[in-house]
């Protein structure tokens, strides 16, 4: 399993996850901050 930081780095380096996330063009910078995953994990545990 990748860490949050590794996931962000992979999405920065690879255009495929960026396309999946809906970005219109490739960005060579981080498109989100690793702490965003905390929000999603909390939302998943609420259900």
Q: Which residue has the higher pLDDT, 4 or 46?
A: 4
Q: Does the global pTM surpass 0.85? A: no
43's enclosing H/E stretch is helix 36-46
What pLDDT is attached to residue 9? 95
At 46 the pLDDT is 80
* pLDDT score recorded for residue 35: 95
Domain residue extents for the chain: 4-46
Whether pLDDT at 20 is above 90: yes
Q: d(Cα 10, Cα 44) in Å, to the nearest integer? A: 23
pLDDT for res 29 = 93
pLDDT of 21 above 80: yes
**Gap between the Cα atoms of 32 and 3, Å rounded:** 14
Distance from C-alpha of 9 to C-alpha of 24, rounded to nearest angstrom: 19
């Amino acid at each position: 399993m990748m860490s949050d930081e590794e996931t962000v780095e992979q999405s920065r380096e690879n255009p495929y996850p960026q396309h999946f996330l809906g970005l219109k063009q490739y960005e060579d910078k981080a498109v989100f901050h690793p702490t965003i995953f905390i929000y999603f994990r909390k939302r998943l545990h609420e259900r």
